[in-house]
Chain A
Amino acid sequence: MPRDPFKKGCEEFRSIRRPTLNPEMSRRQVLLSGLGLGLSLYGTKAMTLERVLESAQAQAAAAPEAPILVNVFLPGGCDLLSTLTPLWKVGPLSDVRRTLGSVETPPLGSTGLGLHASLSEGLDGGVRGLFDAGKIGFLPGIDYANPDLSHFNSRGFWETGIVSPKTGPGWLGRWLDVAGAADNPLQGLTLGGGLSPTLVSAKAPVASLGSPRDARLQFAGTWGTGAEKAAEAWARLADAAPSSLPGPASSARAARLARTVAERLAPYAQQGDGPDPLAPPIAYPEDNDLGTKLSRAAALLALPLGVRIVTVEADGDYDTHDDQPGELATALSGLSQALAAFQADIEMRGIAHRVLTFVWSEFGRRVESNESQGTDHGAGGIAWVQGLRARSGVLTDYPDIGALDDHGNLAVTVDFRRVYASLLEGWLGTPADAVLPGAASFGRVQLVA
């Protein structure tokens, strides 16, 4: 019978929970202790907190305080006007959006804007609560000149940071090419199925990950030395016959990365029905994929794995051609709960000062509504930065409802590349012109306090 392939790791995992840590710990043990710290927030009895804190200090000293960017994509084109509403224009807006009915957008502090009621859902008042606590800077009117209203074109522009039909590496992949490590695929991590196009790089290794629960490479019906030989053979096949053709190269590269990811994450994988080493210290919303991904992200960010960029795609469909009142409320509610839980999680883990979250969507929506209680593709969307060090407030000019373009769309008040350039320089600490073509021409907006 196949033996439990996790057995070895499992025993080692348990051993660090006993008060017998060797002061001269291997790197692997240090990693495991960092994990223990996460668990200790539950008040695990079997662990000597003093020891764990000691090793955590050693670990903190070893790991640089490198800033981390979490990139959250709202697919479909989120509607600015219903999400962050200009309360001084509610009258004229309800005239052109009569099919949407009235949207509940309680006032947001003294900004004169109202925030969609669903964004109050979640821990401590959700996204609204984060704004009130000074942790969010909104960027209304974000887009680019002569906006392309195709999802795919516009999304591609945002993903690459280049307004051009050519495809190529993503803007964050290019940043890793410039500033990342040559040997750590976890530095750029997509949580969820495939790799986010924003993270596609020219040379820096990056990775996508469903869940570290299943990171280890296993071969059915093999165990002991037989299983080891299978894993060795996988590594040799992955390294053999490098090809310059894209297809074979992608296949071999995926095999190599799968092995590297497996090695790095094996210590954190859940052992059978044992405790989940990456369990979050706070309750995340249930049945919320974005929440699950962000909880995993928070746990991994708290470990010295060198993660610099995380990308996730939100659930929910922001492409609200039909039934916008219902669809948008559902989507924003899930988003608000997930983001609030994530922020509380990383604060509790003590890493929030290193993390800035950027939330974006590929365009905004038409000012006038359609007959299906929805809105068509438009311009002038919404994005925001979130975090302890995010500059709070409304950071860009709100588009003037009275001055629409020829197509009945909002005017663009901030180019998304200005925001990218500002994230690169103000947060990641890299000159923007090394990553974004023409960076000098976009100006900057202060995003970090």
Chain B
Amino acid sequence: MAGNTRTWTEAHVRRLFWRAGFGPTPREVEHWTRAGRERTIAYVVHGPRGGASLLGARPTVRGRPIDPLNEYGHDVLWWLDRMVRSTWPLQEKLTLFWHDHFATRDQDTPLMLRQNRMLRTYGMGSFQRLLRQVTRDPAMQLFLSLADSHKESPNENYGRELMELFTLGDGYTERDIREASRALTGWRVSRRDGQVSGTWFDRERHDEGAKAILGQRGRFGTEDVLRIVVERPRHAPFLVTKLWDFFVSEPIDAASKRELVRTYRRSGLRILPVVEGILRHRALYARLDAPDMVKSPLVYLAGILRMTRKPIANDSFTWLLANMGQVPFRPPSVAGWDWGPTWMTSGTIRARLDAANMLIGWGRPAVLEVPDEAGKPDLTPTQQVDLALSALGDPWISAATRNILTNVAAHYFDDLTKPWQQDEEKVARAAMLQRTLRNLLLSGPDAHLH
């Protein structure tokens, strides 16, 4: 059913917190349901007063703090931790959006982290400013060969992706790419102590001649190219649609697109007003009783830890994310990841089951472990399911799932013979039942939808 924009229920809060972030805790659901629609959306969009901070204690892995610069895979843990603990999840979600949009990989970790900070700083303001930062960013320049593109032989890599993936999607010719690439020549990286420390513009290497780009002629340089592409009529609908698809499962309709394009243009190509428009849109609240958008691996994993308020306690997440198909800082290509139903394959759902296993029992430590002596054999089947749900921060499940799990609980002790049923074997079996229920809640088909 379509979401009614006047009512504001727990389901609305859950939906908003999932799509704009990484899921709510039960306390957040309770608090923001009472606070009402306007206050909740304002909080989600603009964050807490004074900006974002990180909740709770800094996690440790193998007894030491996360060390993104020096430990392999810790760059992944470092960002995942921000997704789990940030008081302004939308900021991290949009940083992820931009990391996908301006996908960069294969560069030294300090450069990737520097780009990540840049995307976080500029990711909610003016798109043109963001694009300017991205174009000057050393990791991006090295990845798409903009650094060292020389007037004698312009490299077309950046010019092509600028139009195809970053701003327009369509409506340009090979000639436009060639001419834009000429205008983008002259960039070089600077080095300090052998490490890349930034980028600079070398006039000697820049093609000063006249260029014809997308119907305009002039002695264009980098700033001109960036201005010309975002001024194209195609740009606003392109970007608005990309943002919409990140938050909403239904394709955007023509009227909503027009409205959001207007919002974007009137704000001077600012990002946050468009995002707010999407987060207020009734389409975001469609099918509240049956979520239909597939969580990306990062959203899935950060969501479990956020809802259970558990820290990142070991370094397995890096390879688990690889098996699930989404390692931050290592997008598959400049086009970023394929979002949506393609996240789910026989292999990737297996990896999500492995993640649940790691949290419940295999990890050292396993933060969601259920010790044998914690079993509660006297609970009714319904109470067993409720106990498992509350231990996981009350995730959504369908009525069919609840039925199946209640049935599992009802028959979990069937094979125990009478004498066994009184002693600790039954307590241990009840603990095993809780592990089973929690594992299925974390890895079964419902767990991947939001």
Residue positions of A touching B, CB distance < 8 A: 2, 75, 99, 149-152, 185, 193-195, 207-210, 214-215, 217-223, 225-226, 229-230, 233-234, 236-238, 240-241, 243, 245-255, 257-258, 260-262, 321-322, 368-372, 374, 376-377, 407
Question: Which residues of chain B have C-beta atoms less than 8 A from A243's C-beta?
Answer: 290, 292
A376 to B155, CA, bound (A): 7
Is B95 engaged at the interface, CB distance under 8 Å to the other chain?
no
B148 touches A248 (CB 8 A): no
Q: Report the minimal beta-carbon distance from A100 to chain B, rounded to whole angstroms.
A: 12
A370 touches B345 (CB 8 A): no
Residues A229 and B344 in contact in the complex (CB < 8 Å), given A193-B325, A245-B292, A247-B292: no
Q: Which residue from B340, B345, B401, B432 sits with its C-beta under 8 Å from A237?
A: B401
* CB closest chain-A residue, reference B341: A250
B440 touches A233 (CB 8 A): yes
Q: Report the minimal beta-carbon distance from B185 to chain A, rounded to whole angstroms.
A: 9
B148 touches A372 (CB 8 A): yes
A240 to B174, CA, bound (A): 50
A62 to B283, CA, bound (A): 54
Binding stretch for chain A, among B29-37, B306-314, B404-412:
B404-412
Proximity string of chain B (337-353) to chain A, C-beta cutoff 8 Å, 1 when within and 0 when not: 01011111111111101
B160 touches A254 (CB 8 A): no
A229 touches B155 (CB 8 A): no
A185 to B404, CA, bound (A): 26
- Judged by DSSP, the binding face of B is helix
Is B293 engaged at the interface, CB distance under 8 Å to the other chain?
yes
A255 touches B444 (CB 8 A): yes
Residues A152 and B335 in contact in the complex (CB < 8 Å), given A237-B404, A376-B155: yes
Question: Which residues of chain B have C-beta atoms less than 8 A from A370's C-beta?
Answer: 149, 153-156
A437 to B429, CA, bound (A): 58
Binding stretch for chain A, among B45-53, B114-122, B357-365:
B357-365
**Number of A-B pairs, beta carbon distance below 8 Å:** 204
Q: Report the minimal beta-carbon distance from B196 to chain A, rounded to whole angstroms.
A: 14
A255 to B401, CA, bound (A): 14
A234 to B346, CA, bound (A): 13
Is B193 engaged at the interface, CB distance under 8 Å to the other chain?
no
Question: Which residues of chain A have C-beta atoms less than 8 A from B346's C-beta?
Answer: 185, 207-209, 254, 257-258, 260-261
Residues A247 and B333 in contact in the complex (CB < 8 Å), given A221-B361, A376-B155: no
Q: Report the minimal beta-carbon distance from A159 to chain B, rounded to whole angstroms.
A: 12
Q: Report the minimal beta-carbon distance from A166 to chain B, rounded to whole angstroms.
A: 13
Question: Which residues of chain B have C-beta atoms less than 8 A from A195's C-beta?
Answer: 342, 345
B349 touches A220 (CB 8 A): no
Besides A221-B369, A241-B398, A321-B157, 19 new A-B residue pairs in contact (Cβ under 8 A), listed by A number: A75-B333, A194-B347, A207-B346, A208-B346, A209-B347, A220-B366, A221-B370, A226-B412, A233-B440, A237-B440, A248-B445, A250-B344, A255-B349, A258-B347, A258-B353, A322-B148, A372-B153, A374-B145, A376-B156
A149 touches B174 (CB 8 A): yes
A2 to B338, CA, bound (A): 37
